[in-house]
Chain A
């Protein structure tokens, strides 16, 4: 007989309440992961400023797409087209700016508008046909990827389009995705010898870490926005309700279809933020970018305590899930472990998270085992 937690705890103790926090598992996970790598990889430079930037940026990338996937999952839907959307948005920016000569700001805005329209279309099809979003967005995974590769080859005979860095010099919008903030502070720290500087080469004397990349700023901003929207606003209540029981929510007058479509649009928005920041960082777009990102987003969200069936979850949890993801992926690299083992870890932790979440769901809803 498995131990039944329900019987061990008084019905409404604070401890039990804490057990029911959706993000408890992710908090524990983050603590364990940091503890592990601090013990194992302390000497590898993983926790130096430069090393921290490394896993920090990777985690931020996961966070950006996880926030969108989290709110969408709580609203009761999935979007498997996120990865293809990242490739699509990147190619839209590169083709319109590099090939067609549009100003970069216009290319970026165009990419956002197109992606969000596709997101709205996916949402519209889901609510109108009542088909599982799993299937509808899977269709768009292929449609978008195919169109992206076709568009790139048709317009440039290549699947990788470079030269974005050169033309985005002086653009007003590009720095919001590719720039860094607090560069003055880091310069100042370097001048005082408090942080590492390059010793040789063209950048000699400049700090190794020259500022906080916009990728991190976006991640933080999206987490704050998502968490606030979900927990503190009327609309957030409707997100929970739409995923918790769409029919009951409709009976009470919640515009369930509108909520769901908007969450698909928001997921597309997050994917485009990711794509734009990546294009600005690499100076190029590639038609195959974003492969498997939809699953990485969903895994982060599930590790973060959200239920696959909707109606329950936490943006903070999803962000912590993304951090676990980023720290482990980069940490294994620091300690020199074969990177294929990361996937094994991922599979195992996903399974554990789903089992834990399902158990917590039973505690909340009082379903019988």
Chain B
């Protein structure tokens, strides 16, 4: 593990008018580590992602990247700094081919006379080999993304972010809409990416998915962190308890029985 963390959030606060969405959140993201951010709906997860990816600016607090205090001015700045965000439903465009999606915004071109044209051959061959490395079986680079399963789409989006130099990968609910089999495929992809040394922020409200890939767990509840635990220091019930804010689900169940 490297000495200085890749990204540090220090006492981040965010107000929207009189609403305090985040009331002082701190977390540390290290190289090759999968940091799970857990929280119920409305806990402030989305706001925190948007601050990390430059969509929102924090009202107060500091962001350190590679040990230096940084202001993430906008989404473009975040991408250039190696912070990539894969959104649950906005990752890829279903009507376009996998190849066109993968290269979107960074298309490879070649010159024919004075004109730059898309270099389909190179785009497709790099795509296919990258997908193979990630363990994604792609039949045809020209098949539309709409024909991929939800899990395959997430994996392609993750592979794309990593290929284009993401050092910190923020995954917004990557498994929440998926079935069991597809979830395991996405978790395997995440595992491969982490092995490359990419830092992952895994946002979820599904404790069992988080436990199967996470190294560290931070629980967000009503805009505050309830602390960060390492793998092995905490179990399913405790995480579930912290997320629900006051009571363990198992206790709730007991109450109902008695």
A residues whose Cβ falls under 8 Å from a Cβ of B: 11-12, 20, 232-234, 236-238, 240-241, 244-245, 247-249, 251-254, 307, 311-312, 361, 364-367
CB within 8 Å for A251 and B144 given contacts A232-B117, A237-B103: no
A312-B95 in contact (CB<8A)? yes
| Residues 74 to 95 of chain B near chain A (Cβ within 8 Å) | 75-76, 79, 85, 87, 90-95
Starting from the known contacts A237-B107, A238-B105, A254-B105, 16 additional A-B residue pairs (CB-CB under 8 Å) come to: A232-B118, A233-B116, A237-B104, A240-B96, A241-B93, A241-B96, A241-B104, A244-B93, A248-B87, A249-B104, A251-B75, A251-B90, A252-B104, A312-B95, A364-B144, A366-B146
CB within 8 Å for A364 and B100 given contacts A245-B93, A248-B92, A252-B105: no
CB distance from A139 to the nearest CB of B (A): 29
A364-B94 in contact (CB<8A)? yes
B94-A365 in contact (CB<8A)? yes
How many angstroms between the C-alpha atoms of A232 and B92 in the bound complex? 20
- A residues near B105, Cβ cutoff 8 Å: 238, 249, 252-254
- In the complex, the chain A residue whose C-beta lies closest to that of B93 is A244
The 9 closest A-B pairs by CB, nearest first: A365-B146, A244-B93, A311-B95, A234-B107, A253-B105, A248-B90, A365-B94, A245-B93, A244-B95
Residue among A20, A251, A253, A366 facing the most chain B CB atoms (10 A cut-off): A251
How many angstroms between the C-alpha atoms of A175 and B87 in the bound complex? 54
Count, chain B residues at interface, CB 8 A:
28
CB distance from B133 to the nearest CB of A (A): 21
CB within 8 Å for A234 and B76 given contacts A11-B147, A365-B146: no
How many angstroms between the C-alpha atoms of A290 and B91 in the bound complex? 42
How many angstroms between the C-alpha atoms of A238 and B101 in the bound complex? 10
Residue among B75, B93, B103 facing the most chain A CB atoms (10 A cut-off): B93
What are 9 A-to-B residue pairs whose CB atoms are below 8 Å?
A12-B143, A232-B118, A234-B116, A240-B96, A311-B93, A311-B96, A312-B95, A361-B95, A364-B146
- In the complex, the chain B residue whose C-beta lies closest to that of A247 is B90
CB within 8 Å for A12 and B140 given contacts A241-B104, A244-B93, A311-B96: yes
B95-A365 in contact (CB<8A)? yes
- A residues near B104, Cβ cutoff 8 Å: 237-238, 241, 249, 252, 254
A251-B96 in contact (CB<8A)? no
Residue among A12, A236, A366 facing the most chain B CB atoms (10 A cut-off): A366
How many angstroms between the C-alpha atoms of A251 and B139 in the bound complex? 27
B76-A253 in contact (CB<8A)? yes
CB distance from A304 to the nearest CB of B (A): 16
B41 adjacent to chain A (CB < 8 Å): no
A248-B91 in contact (CB<8A)? yes
How many angstroms between the C-alpha atoms of A364 and B147 in the bound complex? 6
- A residues near B143, Cβ cutoff 8 Å: 12
How many angstroms between the C-alpha atoms of A361 and B94 in the bound complex? 10
B109 adjacent to chain A (CB < 8 Å): yes
CB distance from A248 to the nearest CB of B (A): 4
A251-B94 in contact (CB<8A)? no
- In the complex, the chain B residue whose C-beta lies closest to that of A244 is B93
A240-B93 in contact (CB<8A)? yes
How many angstroms between the C-alpha atoms of A202 and B94 in the bound complex? 62
Q: Which of A238, A244, A251 contacts B85 (CB 8 A)?
A: A251
CB distance from A119 to the nearest CB of B (A): 24
How many angstroms between the C-alpha atoms of A245 and B89 in the bound complex? 11
B93-A253 in contact (CB<8A)? no
B95-A240 in contact (CB<8A)? yes
CB within 8 Å for A244 and B90 given contacts A237-B107, A253-B76: no
- A residues near B87, Cβ cutoff 8 Å: 248, 251
Residue among A20, A252, A312 facing the most chain B CB atoms (10 A cut-off): A252
- A residues near B100, Cβ cutoff 8 Å: 237, 240-241
Residue among B76, B95, B140, B144 facing the most chain A CB atoms (10 A cut-off): B95
- A residues near B118, Cβ cutoff 8 Å: 232-234, 236-237
| Residues 137 to 163 of chain B near chain A (Cβ within 8 Å) | 139-140, 143-144, 146-147
CB distance from B58 to the nearest CB of A (A): 20
How many angstroms between the C-alpha atoms of A237 and B120 in the bound complex? 12
How many angstroms between the C-alpha atoms of A234 and B76 in the bound complex? 19
- B residues near A245, Cβ cutoff 8 Å: 90, 93-94
How many angstroms between the C-alpha atoms of A238 and B109 in the bound complex? 14
CB distance from A241 to the nearest CB of B (A): 6
Q: Which of A232, A248, A361 contacts B93 (CB 8 A)?
A: A248
Q: Which of A244, A247, A253 contacts B96 (CB 8 A)?
A: A244
- B residues near A11, Cβ cutoff 8 Å: 139, 147
- In the complex, the chain A residue whose C-beta lies closest to that of B91 is A248
- B residues near A247, Cβ cutoff 8 Å: 90
| Residues 90 to 131 of chain B near chain A (Cβ within 8 Å) | 90-96, 100, 103-105, 107, 109, 115-118
How many angstroms between the C-alpha atoms of A20 and B94 in the bound complex? 14
A366-B147 in contact (CB<8A)? yes
How many angstroms between the C-alpha atoms of A142 and B115 in the bound complex? 40
How many angstroms between the C-alpha atoms of A11 and B146 in the bound complex? 13
CB distance from B180 to the nearest CB of A (A): 20
CB distance from B63 to the nearest CB of A (A): 20
